[in-house]
Structure 1
Amino acid sequence: MDDQPGADDGVLDPERPNALGHGFGVIGDEWTLLILRATFDGARKYGEIGAAFPISHAVLTARLDSLVAEDVLRKEVYQRNPVRSEYLLTEKGRGLWPVLTALWRWERTWAPRDQGVTPTMVHATCGQEFVPAFCCSACAEPVVAQDVDSGWGPSGGWRRSVPHVQTRRRSGNRRQQEYFYPDTMAVFGNRWSSAIVGAAFMGLTRFNDFHDKLKVPPTLLAARLTSLCESGILHQVVLPDRPDWSEYKLTPKGLDFFPVIGTTAAWAEHWYHEEAGDVLSWSHRSCGQAFTGVFHCDQCHEVLRGGDLRQGGA
């Protein structure tokens, strides 16, 4: 991971990626997502995390070191001779539970059953199996992407919001795919794909607009757009009056990724900031209030909290 001056205390350099770009850069990596899911599932020791999915020692060490440097994990020695350490989620790391919950919800909805078993989830408060409902924190009404108006805040901007790390190639190993639906990785595990999907939620549709705003190299942009179309996140629309001119629009599957984008953006803006102000400005059309998304249990309608969730059956 690139070093960013000031990132260790949450204050970002205004000449570098903003909170959105930095936050997606911290967690929007395939191996990092796998490590986070393993730690949320209870893995603490290096060997436990490494045994959860196929990963080399070099890559695992690098990712753990990065997460410790970002204060997402805390390294704690539990044995002195020989020295052995475990990796514990910090407050900042535990704050990622809405992101993982949003990913689980999306996979539960869209992953074919032959891609592996996505377990159910139980809300400890009411004891019911549930699906989290993404709601407005102000009025508690369920929200979809089309219900929210978005724009740039003082520290916003297209280029600065692109995640700042290079994506690593995934192994394609079946055991790795058991942890995440492959289409999740197609969006969230590639920095350009996540930037393109985010830009699509902000209203961009044309190849030249993605290229001009994000500064994606044309051949790479074409490849990422093709991949996102193949994954069913975007679909290519040929304009009737301009057969040589296409637009790329979010499908229902792509639009349903909004809670993942929303929870990640909220986490990033909470833990990283600039003196200029926020990156994004969101408002809920229905109630007219500034929008912040929260999850509710769709059974008892209570606001969900990380400690209230437990895994159910398949």
Structure 2
Amino acid sequence: MTTVTALPTDSALRELEAEAIEIIREVVAEFDRPALLFSGGKDSAVLLHLARKAVWPAPLGITLLHVDTGHNLQEVLDFRDALVADGGHRLVVAEVEQWLADGRLAERPDGTRNPLQTVPLLDTIVEQKFDALLGGARRDEDRARAKERIFSVRDAFGGWDPRRQRPELWNIYNGRHAPGEHTRVFPISNWTELDVWRYIAAEDVALPSIYYAHDRDVFERAGMLLTPGPWGGPKPGEALQRLRVRYRTVGDGSCTGAVLSTATTVDEVIEEISVSRITERGATRADDRLSEAAMEDRKREGYF
């Protein structure tokens, strides 16, 4: 069982951590069946670490939920399962493959399954009767996420309407919702990618190995370095090459790329992203390049 460590010494991180823990405690107190979206990525790993701290020394009574596209990198799935087993957590996995098999979903022509996560997510929320979902989304990732409140009410169809957002003055959060609605909650909304990594360093938060530089077979497509897998590739004309890379974000392998890197430690990663001018999603997520409003369109439909 992972132990809970002391607060980091940096005052800015202390404030961010305190805010996140207060938000998580508010969710535990205000909602009956909360869940925590857990993909095994760095943001969800930090969120789980914070949730453990928020309820310590009690065990975490929040279900973990992962929408698995079937195109996730194996290293991330192995890390997810090991962390869940170590913490004794309850994990619910909504597999996109099941929705494809029974006809509730159909494969997209471009082969990416990231946009297909919305329907399994919403169906599972209804099936499990979740009334709040804790997520690791941050405002610095995308303009649409920058527009969303920390407590974001979703309608009975899981949709997000920016015009229905509630004011959050003096850290007062309103989780009231009508029958059939639920609330998405983002405790690390005010964090940046650099904050996340500095917190990982301060708290020694474990991550999948692919977040650090390693040698990997990749091919280039639309300016991104993708890994071969069940999602396809390389196509004719896409040369496979072995490069030293790491991932800044994880997700569906068909649309999540790696970046060239020599950063093999947390400190080296922090140094690397300190000079980066592109967010991790902007640099490595093809699904966000579909249109200027790609993320907002998906969020309106019920996406994370």
Specify if TM > 0.5. no
| Relative contact order higher in (CA < 8 Å, ≥ 6 apart) | 1
Give the TM bin, normalised by the shorter chain: under 0.3
* TM-score, structure 1 as length reference: 0.25
